Amino acid sequence: MTSRLDSVDRSKGDRAKARAYGREFWPGMAAYALVLAAVLSWGGLDGHSSWRFVWALAPVLPAAWIARAVLRHVRRVDEYQKLLLLQSLAVGFAVAMLTAITLGFLGTAGLSLADAPWIVYGAGMLGWAVTGICAGRR
């Protein structure tokens, strides 16, 4: 029988930490989306102006803000959540490294992909996200 004590509602502390994370993470994501839209609209990355390199680096600033938010969140959570978070980050890192090695050897063998860095990024993020979701359901 399920009693009131079996409630799976988040605690006040959980909600406070989630709010603090959201306050730091979502402005970074919004800034990233805005900067990305600006770069794609006006950056002229496929042009010849030397300013295109400045435009190309612009999304790194909000991305660094997001990374800072994630690292601060890792420091904020408790020991068990830290373990789960670090496990998912480790899986994401391993997937990214394996993908990089795979693409690197394929490149050495003559099959080089122009979008290889984005494939590595996507694979790492996917590994992190899937492991994080699975760990969160435990």
- The residues of the shown chain that bind another protein, judged by CB under 8 A, are 4-14, 17, 77-81, 83, 136, 138
Residues 6+ apart with CB under 8 A from 31: 61, 62, 65
Which one-letter amino acid corresponds to residue 28? G
Closer residue to another protein, CB minimum distance, 48 or 138:
138
Closer residue to another protein, CB minimum distance, 33 or 90:
90
Residue 136 CB, nearest approach to another protein (Å): 8
Give the Cβ contact number of residue 93 at 10 Å: 13
Pull the structure tokens for residue 10. 């988040």
Residue 88 CB, nearest approach to another protein (Å): 14
Closer residue to another protein, CB minimum distance, 17 or 52:
17
Short-list 43, 71, 72, 70, CA closest to 59: 43
HSE of 126 in the Cβ direction (CA atoms, 13 Å)? 10
Residue 14 CB, nearest approach to another protein (Å): 5
Closer residue to another protein, CB minimum distance, 13 or 110:
13
Residue 82 CB, nearest approach to another protein (Å): 10
